[in-house]
Amino acid sequence: MAKYRLLRERLLAEGTLEARHVARSEPAPLEWLAAVHDEGYLERVLDGALAEAEQRRIGMPWSPGLVARARAAAYGTAMAARAALRHGIAGNLAGGTHHAYRDRGEGYCLFNDHAVAIALLRAEGAALRPFVADLDVHQGNGTAAIFAGDETVFTFSVHGERNYPALKERGSFDLELPDGTGDDAYLAALERHLPRALDLHEPDLVFYQAGVDALASDRFGRLGLSHHGLRARDERVFRWCAERALPVVVTMGGGYARPIEATVEAHANVWRAARAALAARAGAA
């Protein structure tokens, strides 16, 4: 999608990101993917043998490029997680493929990058109580299903009640919002529930799925947030994590507003808030 390129160009041009802090992703090693995804599913993806029904569920036809992008997204999120543990905040300028299950892809997602990163860090003994704060307007159904019954991983999701997926999975905490929910109601709900969930779980790492498809102008979002409301959301998430000395991994998630400039601006605000939060952490150290 063009938004990824446009976002990177904007953040570099305005100085929110510096070129020395941006690394090109690589294909995630197969053993990383195999730690999360079923062997048969992986083989079908890599061999181009997905059935037509599987490709329809994913929403895109199979291609080598599709697989390459999915592997790169998983690698990028895993590397960002390692960097967050060192520096406090890091992120992937893509990623957030939260609809992918162990045995199938859905909703434009082939591999679940959060799950891949969590499995890698666990194997390294680096993060044993991760917390996924998924504020994409669509529930992270794949992530919730992968970690169902695993009390060491907390899956927190605030999403549209009537949005995809029609049948939601049960996560650790799910809040479904009605169509048209605006800034005040959204932020009040987030303030009521997210800090409490963080305190309940006592995580050692937070994955922030910072989708911007809650924008009122989003084609698929159904909610009614403004750019100001989304920026306030991002600032709150980073502040609550900083207050608890929690490292944060940022993934991009969804955003489908038109013109594309509105989507890029909303995504850029996430990274502006992240940079400000990182500077505040450094100043407080």
Annotated catalytic residue, options 37, 98, 99, 159? 99
Query: Taking the alpha carbons of 53, 60, 258, 176 in that order, is the dihedral positive or negative?
Result: positive
CA atoms within 13 A on the CB side of 178: 1
Residue 21: exposed, middle, or buried by beta-carbon count in 10 A (0-12, 13-18, 19+)? Answer: exposed
Q: How far is CA 173 from CA 46, 109, 133, 198, in A?
A: 34, 22, 10, 11
Contact 110, 146 (CB under 8 A): no
Edge-to-edge, what's the strand order for the sheet holding 173-177?
Answer: 89-91, 248-251, 205-209, 130-134, 154-160, 173-177
The residue with tokens 């709150």 is 236
138 belongs to the catalytic site: no
Catalytic residues: 99
